[in-house]
Amino acid sequence: MISCETLKVDENHYHIYDPTLRNTFNFVFHPARSVISMPRIAVVVPAYNEEKAIANVVGEINAIKMPEGFSCMAVVVNDCSRDNTGEIISELNCVALQLPVNLGIGGAVQTGFRYAFENGFDYAVQLDGDGQHPAEEIPNLVREMNSGSFDVMIGSRFIDKTGFQSSWLRRFGINYFTRLNRFLVGVTVHDSTSGFRMINRKVLAVVNEYYPDEYPEPEAVIIYALHKFRIGEMQVQMRERQGGVSSIGAVSSVYYMLKVTLAIFYTFIRFKFSRKWQESRSSQ
């Protein structure tokens, strides 16, 4: 989660006040060069050291043929990369958000979600910057989401089990989180670690205020379910990463599972009791 009190646009600048650091960070975004009609979809692409893949990712987004009446804009969040990612996206046809410090995947994604919410977008799609997620599937996410009146639509590798399936160790971890989420909130998501998902404006209003940091996808499912959002899932044929290095290696997988498990329980307790308290107050 971004630790800040304000995040607003002043022409081409964002201003973040961090109360923990008692400082204000300024960073500039590069406005897209096209006019967007309604309803609008922000395709949020968190990017850290993705210089090898990010131009192709943005190009694929801009080449999408959207369903009639919909349009999309690529919103790339450079999470203070050490390579040339920032310079590359500043020359692309996208909104380029340049973070002055590294926030991690959760903070980068929430930055994009906040941009989408505060600029009046109707939907946001999260899509990785490494080329694993096929941007051409976004129109299918739109159709599936609207045909079933869902609030969240998740692109899954494991419904039909086609395309890139990841390593056996990661599949074990994903199955574990599927069972854990089902136990806690009664919702089955076959690919709860998938970073390819679409949310509507109701969900944007929630993640604008709070979004998990580090590895947020399994934790976000808990938040969505406790807010009674309708969660759907559709088969998507993923690809192997097109560049860069994964932040989760074989050795760190066990640590990742333990850490995310604790985070899931923390989020469950926090939102479960906070919603009960709010409901009890509203009924008085």
Query: Whole-prediction pTM value?
Result: 0.81
Is 183 inside any structural domain?
A: yes
Is 1 inside any structural domain?
A: no
Q: What are the structure tokens assigned to 1, written together? A: 């989660």
Q: Above pLDDT 90, what percent of the chain?
A: 62
CATH for 251: 3.90.550.10
Is 153 inside any structural domain?
A: yes
Q: Give the tens place of pLDDT for each residue, 25-83.
A: 444 444 444 444 579 999 999 999 999 999 999 999 999 999 888 999 999 999 999 99
Buried b (16+ CB within 10 A) or exposed e, 182-203: eebbebebbbbbbbbbbbbbeb
Strands 231-235 and 152-156: parallel
Q: Domain limits at 239?
A: 6-282
Average pLDDT over residues 156-161: 78
Residue-level pLDDT at 26: 42
Query: How many structural domains is the chain composed of?
Result: 1
